[in-house]
């Protein structure tokens, strides 16, 4: 008698293989930082934007560039500064004397993967222009709309230490990011591996050897497969309880919006698909909840004075909930 072999309802073998190939390519250059790489890839599959927070020198910019290289996408980088104007990001209409009219000259925001370095250094009007593009996925100048090419993903970085010459991002704008990734320092062992890897060969030479394993057209198909990943009703209820708990917790001044619930659901689907599963488990939700929620809640002043972080409070909330099995 033959044993019943479980057959997945959605074939995710291609997605799982592509993710493994991308990780392998990126690891040729990047030492460690596995969580950052995984979350960026999950955000790409879930069609979301990412805010990366970490001190200088922990490979935030390099990782973003390598992800774009592995997917054969157009990569664009914008350095935000206090004197940056919205037109410097979006583009502007330029008079063409040959045709006797104005033509739109595209700004650096027109890319597939756009890295915005030090997003909190630009003034509010420039930040607002960027967030409008992130939400609407189009630029409107002089009454004409210019849609962004698909896929379109913004990776923004900020330094958590520096405060002088920065403009704090409003909570409503932070909500546009699917994840906030906090990048730690490498361990001592990882730092030794970094030194050994680059003491003879420059990083640019290693990065030049990376192979593209995915096309822009394939991204659309993989995103379709992610949407097909199953999630049980009890897990949807768990996500809702988790998010609504942030609105009544004694340590939280401002809780997460319904957009956070949708973000957890989509990122959990992406996490499941990346592991070759066509169904979401509670572990997928628990893994994705901190990066989805940490920038969507505001702690009370009393809790901040105690030295607590958003992740500490999120752990408290999860610990108090009954996890479905």
For the segment 62-115, what is each residue's pLDDT rounded down to a tens digit?
A: 888 888 778 877 888 888 888 888 888 888 878 778 777 777 788 888 888 888
Indicate the range of 29-33, 97-101, 164-168, 268-272 predicted with least confidence.
164-168
Please give the backbone phi and psi of residue 315, each rounded to the nearest 5 degrees, phi first.
-65, -40
Q: What is the mean pLDDT of residues 268-294?
A: 92
User: 145 forms bridges with which residues in the sheet?
Assistant: 140
- 229-325 has which CATH code? 1.10.8.80
DSSP letter at 32 equals: S
Helix residue ranges, H only, 98-229: 124-136, 171-174, 188-198, 203-208, 216-227
- Greater model confidence, 315 or 135: 315
Banded model confidence at residue 162, pLDDT cuts 50, 70, 90 = low
Determine the pLDDT at residue 283: 94
- What's the rounded Cα separation, in Å, for the pair 267 and 287? 9
Of all residues in the chain, the percent with pLDDT exceeding 90 is 22
Indicate the range of 14-23, 37-46, 259-268, 306-315 predicted with least confidence.
14-23
What distances in angstroms separate CA 62 from CA 23, 36, 79, 134, one per listed residue? 14, 12, 14, 22
Banded model confidence at residue 287, pLDDT cuts 50, 70, 90 = very high
Residue spans per domain, the chain: 9-216, 229-325
- Greater model confidence, 280 or 145: 280
Determine the pLDDT at residue 5: 46
Closest CA to 293 of 168, 159, 175: 175
Closest CA to 231 of 286, 282, 279: 279
Q: What is the mean pLDDT of residues 137-143?
A: 80
Kindly indicate whether the domain formed by 9-216 is annotated with CATH number 3.40.50.300: yes
- Greater model confidence, 50 or 123: 50
Q: What is the mean pLDDT of residues 170-186?
A: 84
pTM, two decimals, is 0.85
- What's the rounded Cα separation, in Å, for the pair 289 and 263? 9
Q: How far apart are the first and last CA of the chain?
A: 31
Closest CA to 79 of 150, 130, 133, 43: 130
Q: How many helices, marked H, and strands, marked E, lie in the chain?
A: 14, 11
């Amino acid at each position: 008698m033959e044993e019943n072999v479980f057959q997945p309802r959605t074939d995710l073998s291609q997605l799982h293989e592509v993710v493994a190939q991308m990780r392998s390519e990126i690891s040729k250059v990047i030492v460690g930082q596995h969580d950052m790489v995984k979350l960026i890839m999950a955000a790409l599959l879930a069609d979301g934007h990412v805010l990366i927070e970490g001190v200088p020198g922990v490979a935030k910019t390099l990782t973003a560039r390598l992800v774009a290289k592995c997917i054969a996408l157009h990569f664009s980088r914008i350095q935000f500064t206090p004197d940056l104007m919205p037109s410097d990001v979006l583009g502007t209409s330029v008079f063409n004397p040959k045709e006797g009219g104005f033509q739109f000259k595209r700004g650096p925001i027109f890319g597939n993967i756009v890295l915005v370095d030090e997003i909190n250094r630009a003034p509010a009007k420039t930040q607002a222009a960027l967030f409008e593009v992130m939400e609407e996925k189009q630029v409107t100048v002089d009454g004409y709309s210019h849609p962004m090419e698909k896929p379109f993903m913004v990776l923004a970085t900020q330094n958590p230490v520096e405060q002088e010459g920065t403009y704090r991002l409003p909570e409503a704008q932070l909500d546009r990011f699917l994840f906030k990734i906090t990048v730690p320092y490498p361990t001592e062992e990882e730092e030794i591996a970094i030194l050994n890897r680059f003491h003879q060969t420059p990083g640019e030479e290693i990065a030049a050897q990376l192979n593209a394993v995915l096309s822009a057209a394939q991204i659309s198909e993989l995103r379709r497969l992610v949407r097909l990943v199953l999630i049980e009703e009890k897990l949807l209820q768990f996500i809702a309880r988790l998010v609504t708990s942030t609105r009544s917790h004694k340590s939280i001044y401002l809780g997460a919006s319904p957009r956070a619930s949708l973000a957890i659901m989509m990122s959990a689907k992406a996490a499941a698909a990346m592991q070759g599963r066509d169904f979401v488990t509670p572990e997928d939700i628990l893994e994705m909840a901190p990066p989805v929620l940490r920038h969507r809640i505001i702690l009370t002043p009393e809790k901040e004075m105690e030295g607590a972080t958003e992740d500490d409070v999120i752990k408290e909330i999860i610990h108090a909930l009954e996890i479905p099995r």
